[in-house]
């Protein structure tokens, strides 16, 4: 009986301590951080918190559910990128192109969005709580 209980506890603790699987391609993450050029890259679920991505080329990149909290995206090109469900809490998004990007359910809370290009972007369900939005065609609630 004790053996079964110990085996169950060991199994459950292993499951609860396991890290969630990341879909991001590690080579793409390294490429982005080293070169700031990662067009068409798979960065889904990547933790890029606090990264300095000024002028980065992320056109058509998959950033679905990526963590970009407190990231500097000034002058970055994310045209056509998939950011569905991404976390951009506290991010600095200035002069950034998000044209044709999928921004569904993106968390922009406390972010600073200045002069952002959004032509054709999907803004469904975005969170702008506490965000500063200037010179950008976006309204509270993302509608």
Q: Where are the domains of the chain?
A: 24-143
Strands (E), the chain: 92-94, 112-114, 132-134
Q: What is the pLDDT along the chain (143 residues), one digit of tens a residue?
A: 555 554 555 544 444 444 444 469 999 999 999 999 999 999 999 999 999 999 999 999 999 999 999 999 999 999 999 999 999 999 999 999 999 999 999 999 999 999 999 999 999 999 999 999 999 988 654 44
**Cα–Cα distance list, 70 to 3, 28, 89, 107, 110 (Å):** 48, 20, 6, 12, 9
pLDDT at 113: 98
How big is the CA angle at 56 (ends 65 and 112), to the nearest 5 degrees?
Answer: 65
**pTM metric for this prediction:** 0.81
Task: Decide yes or no: CATH 2.160.20 for domain 24-143.
Answer: yes
> What pLDDT does residue 1 have?
55
For 54-65, give one letter per residue: b (16+ CB within 10 A) or e: bebbbbbbbbbb
């Amino acid at each position: 009986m004790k053996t079964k209980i110990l085996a169950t506890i060991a199994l459950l603790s292993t499951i609860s301590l396991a890290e969630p699987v990341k879909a991001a391609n590690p080579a793409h993450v390294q490429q982005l951080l080293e070169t700031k050029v990662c067009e068409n890259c798979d960065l889904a679920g990547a933790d890029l918190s606090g990264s300095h991505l000024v002028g980065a080329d992320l056109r058509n990149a998959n950033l679905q559910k990526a963590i970009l909290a407190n990231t500097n995206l000034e002058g970055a090109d994310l045209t056509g990128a998939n950011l569905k469900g991404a976390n951009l809490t506290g991010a600095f998004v200035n002069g950034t192109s998000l044209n044709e990007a999928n921004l569904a359910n993106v968390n922009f809370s406390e972010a600073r969005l200045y002069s952002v290009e959004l032509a054709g972007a999907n803004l469904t369900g975005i969170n702008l709580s506490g965000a500063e939005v200037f010179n950008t065609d976006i309204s509270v609630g993302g509608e």
